[in-house]
Amino acid sequence: MDLDPATLALISAVISGLQVVAFVVLARLNPEMQGVRLWAWSSLAFAASMVLLVSRRIVGEQPVLYAAGFLAVTAALACTAVGAAVFVGRRTRFRIPVVATLVILGVYGWYLFVDPYLPARLACTAAMHVVWLVAAAHELFQERQPGLLVSSRFTGGVMLAYAAVVVLRSVLMVAGASPNTMFDRELPQVLVFLGTIFWVITSTFGVILMINQRQILSLRESAAARLEAEESLRLAERQLAQAREQQQRKDFVHDLHDGLGAATVNVTHLVDLLESRSAADTEALEQLKQAAVEGARELRRLMNAVDEGQVLWTDWLHDLRTHAEQTFRARSIALVWRVAGGPPDAPIANAAAALSLGRAVREAVANVAKHSRANRCSISIRFRPGAVAVGVRDDGVGFPESPPGASGNGGHGLVGMERRVRSCGGRLRLGRPSGPSSRGASVRIVVPLPLSLVVETELGLGHGHNAGNRQTRG
């Protein structure tokens, strides 16, 4: 054959030296990649074995060179297997390969120094390759990360293929009439050196591929960890903002209680003191007392809404009915209270919207008490899917024939009522009961559910489609 085994051995040594440089560079550039340094030592030992092999052609067939070359090959194979285990993150002790190595070294030394026998030494060389390359491939096959399955199995397959080439070469040499020397131009020798060159090149490619895939996975994990950390930070910021909001609510409630609450209580005590001394008009004092009590009640509603952040529909209805009963009782107006349809089970999440709608209805109640001169007033609340309708109807004098927005307290009250209704996204309709003999006035409020506040850039209270429906009491 034209291929010279000595030349192929020298080429293998040069390529192994380049592999050492490649692995050292990879280890320096990727210090977090465990196992690459061991593969660099493996390449260095393998290059040394090739140099020792070539030197036998120069200095002759010396047993010491055989032993040194075999020990270098053994060290290279062991570093390859240990490096594979370290790379995949396993702590394998390699008990079986270590015991087998000691046995193979003893047999090889016997048939080298005591009873020289080439076929036995060829069998020891093949056995050493099989033991450590199979162990190395087994470690790489334990890789379970999806991104490393292909590269790790490719590199492990290359190791098994090279072990098979060494075994085939030993079998072919032993099966011959007489075993060839290392540098005879025969098929077994050429085959093993070509396999060595193939092994060095493909194993380097496989290691680079595994390192590249490991880097990609590391970048993905880092990105995922960074996103998770950012999400945790946003969650912590939201929790901190909620905690601050709750603390501000508590501080605000305490301020209201200590300031306005104390003021309303003091007014009530003053009225009681004046009544006991008969120092003022009884009716005026009663009105002042009623205003103070209502102010305290309104303050309590505001404090509860701010403190809780939500309002139950049952509490909202109870407060509204209590207010209407007390207001009409002072004016001797009979109250008819009706609630149709069940209120939603979920509470009103927007406490400000609950307060705004409640004040709109209270304004309607106040108008009846102050201006209607009615004997009877009915308040009907109907819950429908997606909306709630509130109707206030009395049998008093009704609305006067005055243009919308007329002056007077009632006019300002209706304007404020409409503003509050529109802030909830609802509609306000004012009118008279139908029929020629019907007396009184009616106020109808319809707001969508769930109850919330809407932002309007321009209220336009004096314009729009509802303007024709707004009237004022005198």
Largest CA distance in the chain: 141
Rounded Cα–Cα distance for residues 354 and 347 (Å): 10
Q: How confident is the model at residue 59 (pLDDT cuts 50, 70, 90)?
A: confident
Q: Give the confidence band of 303 by pLDDT, cuts at 50, 70, 90.
A: low
pLDDT in tens, 135-158: 999 999 998 888 888 999 999 999
Tell me what the mean pLDDT of segment 403-407 comes to: 39
Residues across the chain: 474
Amino acid identity for residue 33 in this structure:
M
pTM: 0.51
User: Distance (Å, rounded) from C-alpha 449 to C-alpha 348?
Assistant: 9
Return the sign of the alpha-carbon dihedral for residues 454, 458, 461, 463. Answer: negative
Supply the pLDDT for residue 390: 94
Burial (CB < 10 A; 0-12, 13-18, 19+), residue 171, is middle
**Is pLDDT of 87 > 80?**
yes
376, 336 contact by CB (below 8 A): yes
Query: Which band of pLDDT confidence, cut at 50, 70 and 90, is reported for residue 345?
Result: confident
Closest CA to 433 of 374, 371, 370, 365: 374
245: exposed, middle or buried (Cβ count in 10 Å: 0-12, 13-18, 19+): exposed
For residue 39, give the amino acid letter.
Answer: W
Could you report the per-residue pLDDT of 371-386, keeping only the tens digit for each? 888 899 999 999 999 9
Percent of the chain with pLDDT strictly greater than 70: 74
Half-sphere exposure of 291 (CA within 13 A, CB side): 10
* The pLDDT value given to residue 405: 40
Structure tokens that stand for 144 in this block:
């379970």
Q: What is the 3-state secondary structure (H, E, C) of 406-448?
A: CCCHHHHHHHHHHHHHHHCCCEEEEECCCCCCCCCCEEEEEEE
DSSP state, residue 57:
H
Please determine, for residue 468, whether its predicted confidence score (pLDDT) is greater than 80: no
Is residue 111 very low, low, confident or very high in pLDDT (cuts 50, 70, 90)? very high
| pLDDT at position 71 | 95
| pLDDT band of 76, cuts 50, 70, 90 | very high
**Mean pLDDT of the 145-174 span:** 89
Question: What one-letter code names the amino acid at 144?
Answer: R
pLDDT tens digits, 319-336: 889 888 888 888 889 999
Q: Tell me the pLDDT tens digit for each residue of 408-459.
A: 444 557 788 888 899 889 999 988 766 655 788 899 999 998 888 775 543 4
| 24-28, 201-205, 456-460, range with greatest mean pLDDT | 201-205
pLDDT at 51 over 80: yes
Predicted pLDDT at 469? 38
Residue 106's pLDDT is what? Answer: 95
Question: Under DSSP, is residue 17 helix (H, G, I), strand (E, B) or coil?
Answer: helix
Query: All domains of the chain, ordered by start, with CATH?
Result: 5-233 (1.20.1070), 310-474 (3.30.565.10)
What's the CA gap between 126 and 168, in Å, rounded?
A: 9
Q: Mind listing the pLDDT tens digit for each residue in 285-302? A: 666 666 666 666 666 666
Residue 471 has pLDDT above 50, yes or no: no
388 strand-pairing partners: 383, 447
What is the reported pLDDT for 354? 85
Token duo for residue 382: 């109907």
pLDDT on residue 221:
85
Average pLDDT over the chain, rounded to whole? 79
Average pLDDT of the residues in 119-130: 92
Tell me the mean pLDDT in the region 267-275.
Answer: 64
